[in-house]
Structure 1
Amino acid sequence: MKIKAYGIKDKNGIAEPFYYERNVGDNEVSVKIVYCTIARGDVQFISDDWGDTKYPLVPGHEIIGIVEGTGANVTALKAGDHVGIGYQQEACFECEFCKEGNEQFCTQQKAIGVHCYGGLADHIIIDNRFAFKLSPALRSVNSVPLLSSGLTVYAGIMRAQLPANSVVGVLGAGGLGQLAIRFLHKMGHEVYAFSHSPEKKEMVQQLGAEFILSSNLNTNKKFDLIISTLNAPYDLDAYLRILKPQGKFCIVASPLEKQPISLGLLYDYAQRTIYGNYVGNRKQMTEMLAFSEKHNIGSEVEVMPFSKVNEAIEKVRTGKIKIRLVLENDK
């Protein structure tokens, strides 16, 4: 099958029409793409910020589409089903991680941008076990960011095993941060959002959190959990100081530069924990989608057609868009 996509041939290049051949395997499905986000992470892949981008790059790791064809072994999906697809496309399902249900750590996994092509295309062919059937309530353009950003923050929050009515801080109020606030608020926690942008105060409050200007951390609150969604440098020590003695600090994004830390803040009259979270497993994806459907969780988005992909990439790169940008297939 010949697939039309938009590919970036080299570092910091522009997206151009690109074709590749891919046949549907026994365990795979062919999906006609309807929506695909362009997120900050896609721009960082284009710039090869992490040093592992595979060119030509077809970006787009949050996808909604419609199944058009299925492989011989596929029984869970059929033509016409609406599905959501995230960052991970394959796993071996035989290694220790896969057997534990943590296929996101599979050493043989295939992830968009590093091992395989993404959603900025007319179609994508993917292992059916990583195509998640969507209810009618989750087929809208506002649900697209759930497929990676939503999964990442949801899995990070669930790992904290928070007691009811916890005090939680969200560091950053961008795409990841806004979804983290929505999840935490609907879980019944007391939520605070830290941001350097005063103009986001009203939006943060509408999402269900109190706003704290990150340049002024004069707060008497002590936090059970702080989840950081920032990819810019920040004062990690300042946030560790406002954790409770057994508080947790979760990192779902990080600056490219090394961050200094005072290790005494972890153990001096404390048992604080820092942990990271890499996307999530398939069980967590299913749980997150069900939670989002129940509580009507989605993202505020701006929609542009695929044909304006380079304009969209530039808007994200230069920070000219403050909500999530979704491309709609105009073919």
Structure 2
Amino acid sequence: MKIKAYGIQEKGGKAEPFYYERNVGDNEVSVKIVYCSMARGDVQFISDDWGDTKFPLVPGHEIAGIIEETGSNVTTLKTGDRVGIGYQLDACFECEFCKAGNEQFCAQQKVIGVHCYGGLADHIVVDHRFAFKLPPALHTAGSVPLLSSGLTVYSAITRAQLPPNAVVGVMGVGGLGQLAIRFMHKMGHQVYAFSHSPDKKEMINRLGAECILTSNAGSLATMDKKFDFILSTLNVPYDLNDFLKTLKPQGKFCVVATPLEKQPVNLGLLYDYAQRTIYGNYVGSRQNMTDMLDFAAKHHIESAVEVMTFGEVNEAIEKVGTGKINIRLILENKA
């Protein structure tokens, strides 16, 4: 099967028409792509910020489309099904992590940008176990950011095992942060969002959180031991120690993004009159994905999106890379 895509040949390069061959295996499905996001993570793959990008790169790790072909072993999906696909496309299903339902840690997993071509294409072929039926209540375009950003923050939040009506904070109100606010608000928690921009206060309130302006000197100092949980979605430097001080004893701090530079931490803040925890979260399992999509459908959680076309991909990359957009950017395949 010959697939038409947009590929990037080198670090920092432009997206250009690109073709590759890919057949449908017994356990796989071919999906006609309708929408694909252009996220900050895709731009970082293009820039090879993490040093593991495989070129030529076909970006796009949040995808929605329609199944066109199924392999001989596929019984749970059929032609015409509307599905969503995230960052991970395959796993061995035999290792200790896969057997425990944590396929995202499989050493043989295949992910977009490192092992596989992504969603900026007419089609994608994926193991059927990583193509997820989209609930009817979710609109296709607005659900696309749920498939990686939504999965990542949802699984991070549920891992915290928060008590009812917990006091929680979200650092950064981009694509990840906005979904995290909405999830925790609908879970019944008291949500605060940390932002340096006064212009975002109205949007933060609308999402269901109170705004804490970190641009105000001393704003964190008044919040000693206030939070049960803080989720950081920031990829710019910040003083981790200032935020750790705002956690209650046994409070938890989770990172789902990080600055490229090393962050210093005062280890005493983890144990001195406390029992605080720092942990990270990497996407989520297939069960996490199913649970998250069901929760989003029940509570009408989708992303506000701006839609451009595949043909405008380089303009989209520039907009995301320079921060010229405040909502999620989705590319529509009109082929």
TM-score, length-scaled by structure 1 = 0.99
Q: Which residue of 1 aligns with 2:223?
A: 220
| Contact in 2 for aligned 1:24/1:70 (Cα 8 Å) | yes
Matched, 1:329 2:333: yes
Q: Which residue of 2 aligns with 1:16?
A: 16
2:303 aligned to which of 299, 316, 331: 299
| Contact in 1 for aligned 2:8/2:56 (Cα 8 Å) | yes
Q: How many angstroms does 1:197 deviate by?
A: 1.2
1:266 aligned to which of 256, 266, 270: 270
| Contact in 2 for aligned 1:6/1:17 (Cα 8 Å) | yes
Counterparts of 1:318 and 1:244, CA distance in 2: 36
Q: How many angstroms does 1:330 deviate by?
A: 1.6
Unaligned runs of 5+ in 1: none
Matched, 1:97 2:101: no
Counterparts of 2:242 and 2:298, CA distance in 1: 36
| Contact in 2 for aligned 1:34/1:328 (Cα 8 Å) | yes
Q: Which residue of 2 aligns with 1:55?
A: 55
Matches within 5 A, 1:138-149: 138-149=138-149
| Contact in 1 for aligned 2:35/2:330 (Cα 8 Å) | yes
**Aligned to 1:312, what secondary structure does the other structure show?**
helix
Q: Which amino acid aligns with 2:237?
A: P
Worse-superposed segment, 128-137 or 40-49? 128-137
| Contact in 1 for aligned 2:135/2:294 (Cα 8 Å) | no
Q: Which residue of 2 aligns with 1:230?
A: 234
Q: How many angstroms does 1:137 deviate by?
A: 1.7
Q: Which residue of 2 aligns with 1:255?
A: 259
Q: How many angstroms does 1:98 deviate by?
A: 0.3
Matched, 1:287 2:302: no
Aligned residues: 331
TM-score, length-scaled by structure 2 = 0.98
Q: Which residue of 2 aligns with 1:180?
A: 180
Q: Which residue of 1 aligns with 2:248?
A: 244
Unaligned runs of 5+ in 2: none
Q: How many angstroms does 1:134 deviate by?
A: 1.1
Q: Which residue of 1 aligns with 2:41?
A: 41
Counterparts of 2:137 and 2:144, CA distance in 1: 12
Counterparts of 1:99 and 1:77, CA distance in 2: 22
| Contact in 2 for aligned 1:150/1:176 (Cα 8 Å) | yes
Q: How many angstroms does 1:220 deviate by?
A: 3.3
Q: Which amino acid aligns with 2:223?
A: N
Q: Which residue of 1 aligns with 2:282?
A: 278
Q: Which residue of 2 aligns with 1:124?
A: 124
RMSD over equivalenced CA pairs, Å = 0.7
Counterparts of 2:192 and 2:301, CA distance in 1: 18
Q: Which residue of 1 aligns with 2:75?
A: 75
Q: How many angstroms does 1:140 deviate by?
A: 2.3
